[in-house]
Structure 1
Amino acid sequence: MAEPRGRWCVPCLASLEILQELCREEKLTCAVLGIDKINLQEYEVEYLCGYKKEKGQEYYLVKWKGWPESTNTWEPRRNLRCIGLVKQFRDDHSKFLAKVKAAKRLKLNNCADYKSTVAEYIVMKSKQRLALKRWEEELNRKKNHQGKILVENEVDFEPPPMDFHYINQYKPSLGINLNSDALVGCECLNCLEGKCCPEEAGAQFAYNAQRQLRIAPGKPIFECNSCCSCGPQCPNRVVQKGTQYDLCIFRTSNGRGWGIKTLQKIKKNCFVMEYVGEVITSEEAERRGKFYDSKGITYLFDLDYVEDEYTVDAARFGNISHFVNHSCDPNLQVYNVFIDSLDTRFPRIALFSTRSIKPGEELTFDYQMKGSGDVSITETSEVNSSPKRQRRIECKCGSISCRGYMN
């Protein structure tokens, strides 16, 4: 029997703007895209891509939102009400000049060459900025935590990663069952004082009243779960609430790719983010590891709290932690966390601050899991071992204690 109409759909790889352009080019209306007979001829400035001055009057070349580039027009400055876009155009122009002076390699034979080159630069930056903005909006739609995610690239023309899918929790690969059902919970009136989940598991209560860590690295964290009598304000519910800070994915300037920086102050011993990805077997991790090594990258993290059966791979599926870089002097430390599931084969990986972190500071952790100062741990401790790395990869962290290699 045929399926009812409307049951089938195919995901489109084109962006909303491109589809709007196609509609206006073909003079078609589409309710889903917001194109109707009224706004079919509507014009909104998307970005400015050229500048000229004629008879003392300034003109800007305008790319209209939802319209193909063939419809770009020169508009006098007095007709434009997009003050922010004009400022952005001028900023891009200034940055281009700075790059030219710094490189001292770009030879411009005449005025036309210069105008063509700077226009190309500004258009590329404008398109990249729009792509990053769309990606930023997508990430914020998909995340389930309080903190916002921002994206910026002031270094090069690198676009958003094409083959990365944002997830909020472990994604089990075929044949792996992640049982997350809690079987028992506490009945505390005050979990800081009662016989709570950590004590029942033979562990120490991990947090103080301000929800900051009070246990040493290598010790497991047992949080209250869905069966517990305590409410959402319980001080033993921290990792499960997700990232509370506004974080920014930014392009590093020293060849380390994307990185993460905080936009807010983070106090010492506070939960920052969780490391999630696809859960695979260690055998599959070995196979993927060889491919990642050949590319000089890896996102493999062993789940070896007790046994070494499974690995988290955040290469294609992950959250914001996918972009956290390595440092030999990190400001984040890894802890194993158990909440609803007490299966020791599948601990959740949480990253906590090892010191006070200032706004704008990059967030890093040591891929060999060696902290700094009083939180140093050994490779034989109970925490997760380092991500799988076979080929020696040069370290570019720039810290005084840099070992020269990430593995």
Structure 2
Amino acid sequence: MAHYLKDCSVSCKLSWDDLQAVCRRQRLVCKQLSVTKHNFRDYEVEYLCNYRNIKGREFFLVKWKGYSEAENTWEPRRNLKCPKMIRQFRRDMRLALLLANKPLDSTSLDASCTSFLLQKAKQRLKLLRWEEQLNRTCKHKGRIFVLNEVDLDGPPKDFMYISDYRIGEGVKMSQTAAGCECADCIREPVNGCCAGASKHRMAYNDSRQVKIKPGLPIYECNSQCCCGPDCGNRVVQRGIQYDLCIFKTANGRGWGVRTLERIHKNAFVMEYLGEIITSEEAERRGETYDKQGVTYLFDLDYVDDVYTVDAAHYGNISHFVNHSCDPNLQVYNVFIDNLDEHLPRIAFFATRAIKAGEELTFDYKMTIDEVDAESAKIDARFSMAGVQGTPVKPMRMECKCGAETCRKYLC
């Protein structure tokens, strides 16, 4: 039996920090976890869950990492070396007192306040673990952060973050047969590089910004090309380059995405990833989603409506991008290793310079007419997908984007 299991592995449900705490608690030396006899008594605060002020001395109820809640202890302020956590706890405590209509200088907290603080602490812990999981899964330069200062909702349920398309049943993916032979794909493209081989224009300038009009396809260099990973015609495949934040919106639009860095006009921002399914399967799922009030179906209809991307249960950060009638993201069809025109990659590029802290949006009803004889019509037909949700089709859904040009309704 052991012979058959020698190459098997099982994922550990505990984090690295949790394993360290368990070893210290059990007085187990572990070189791999950096646990020695000298740091057995190192304890780490997991979160703070209550407060008292006794004759001017502040005390906090501490949940210790690796220990149960039954082993929480009251500690004076001077014993705690977690200033960031204390500052956050004070903000949460102020909010709890305001919600309970209690004096802000209260020396102790009632049951409603402590309940709120405990829920908030556990929520932050869940969001932090989800954030760590997202960054372990994604394979790009830009980091993902998660923030919810609006309510007590934790990570979304029944959603798996992915770093590439998930191929559904009945979908056939073809691979590239040949690549380019360019020494410098941008400045000295041989036979027009990959775009020229498909009788299209090169899409990017020297700064990796898209220079063609929306509606025209982008052909990037692929795995068969002679150029390296730093080639200027490899943009979308390099992944997200900016730090982004998934945050809870304050006006009822659910989760949204904002950038934490300035994004230049025409720069690549992210792909729309999900499960690729047939149009027939999309119709079936669409009926179910309509009854539930939400859907994340994005038609891949560059030439024909054959396949659809469903990001409801499998997707990346684009799953959380909200609609706007005045969006700062534009959709382009991109081809890399797969040249099947029925299966383009969906990439978002900045329509203008985007400031740090600004929310990222695209138009769910975006339509681009043909820009020349060779370019097909792009009709996103996003089925009102996204966090705002979708009512039953006959109903009109109010748009909450807040843009001056808002159409007031999404359908």
Q: TM-score range by the shorter chain?
A: 0.7 to 0.9
Show CA shifts across 1:173-192 (max 9, x none): 1232322x221122223323
Aligned to 2:166: 171
Aligned to 1:385: 380
Aligned to 1:397: 401
Question: Which amino acid is 1:404 matched to?
Answer: K
Using the TM superposition, name which of 385-394 and 277-286 deviates more: 385-394
Aligned to 1:222: 219
Instruction: Give the one of 126, 133, 144 matched to 2:128.
Output: 133
Cα distance in 2 for residues equivalent to 1:375 and 1:261 = 31
Change (3 A) 1:384 1:186: farther
Indicate conservation of the 8 Å contact 2:51/2:108, yes or no.
Answer: no
What is the 5 A alignment of 1:265-344? 265-344=262-341
Cα distance in 1 for residues equivalent to 2:182 and 2:13 = 51
Cα distance in 2 for residues equivalent to 1:190 and 1:9 = 44
Change (3 A) 1:226 1:393: same
The yes-or-no answer on 1:254 pairing with 2:251 is yes
Change (3 A) 1:220 1:30: farther
Aligned length: 394
Indicate conservation of the 8 Å contact 1:153/1:251, yes or no.
Answer: yes
Using the TM superposition, name which of 336-345 and 50-59 deviates more: 50-59
Q: Percent identity?
A: 54
Aligned to 1:187: 181
Question: Which amino acid is 1:400 matched to?
Answer: E
The yes-or-no answer on 1:61 pairing with 2:61 is yes
Q: TM-score by structure 2 length?
A: 0.86
Aligned to 1:96: 96
Indicate conservation of the 8 Å contact 1:219/1:383, yes or no.
Answer: no
Cα distance in 2 for residues equivalent to 1:234 and 1:11 = 36
Structure 2: tracts of 5 or more residues without a match: 385-391
Indicate conservation of the 8 Å contact 1:336/1:384, yes or no.
Answer: no
Using the TM superposition, name which of 285-294 and 360-369 deviates more: 285-294
Change (3 A) 1:159 1:404: same
Aligned to 2:111: 116
**Aligned-pair CA distance for 1:23:** 9.0
Indicate conservation of the 8 Å contact 1:212/1:270, yes or no.
Answer: yes
Structure 1 ranges of 4+ moved more than 3 A: 5-25, 27-42, 97-100, 111-114, 374-377
**Aligned-pair CA distance for 1:107:** 8.2
Aligned to 2:201: 204
Change (3 A) 1:303 1:370: closer
Cα distance in 2 for residues equivalent to 1:162 and 1:33 = 33
Aligned to 2:156: 161
Change (3 A) 1:7 1:199: closer
**Aligned-pair CA distance for 1:98:** 4.5
RMSD over equivalenced CA pairs, Å: 3.2
Q: TM-score by structure 1 length?
A: 0.87
Change (3 A) 1:37 1:81: closer
Change (3 A) 1:241 1:36: closer
Cα distance in 1 for residues equivalent to 2:337 and 2:79 = 60
Change (3 A) 1:207 1:37: closer
Indicate conservation of the 8 Å contact 1:170/1:277, yes or no.
Answer: yes
Indicate conservation of the 8 Å contact 2:267/2:349, yes or no.
Answer: yes
Structure 1: tracts of 5 or more residues without a match: 101-105
Question: Which amino acid is 2:344 matched to?
Answer: P
Change (3 A) 1:178 1:51: same
Change (3 A) 1:206 1:309: same
Change (3 A) 1:185 1:22: closer
Cα distance in 2 for residues equivalent to 1:33 and 1:301 = 45
Cα distance in 1 for residues equivalent to 2:9 and 2:229 = 39
Cα distance in 1 for residues equivalent to 2:407 and 2:260 = 28
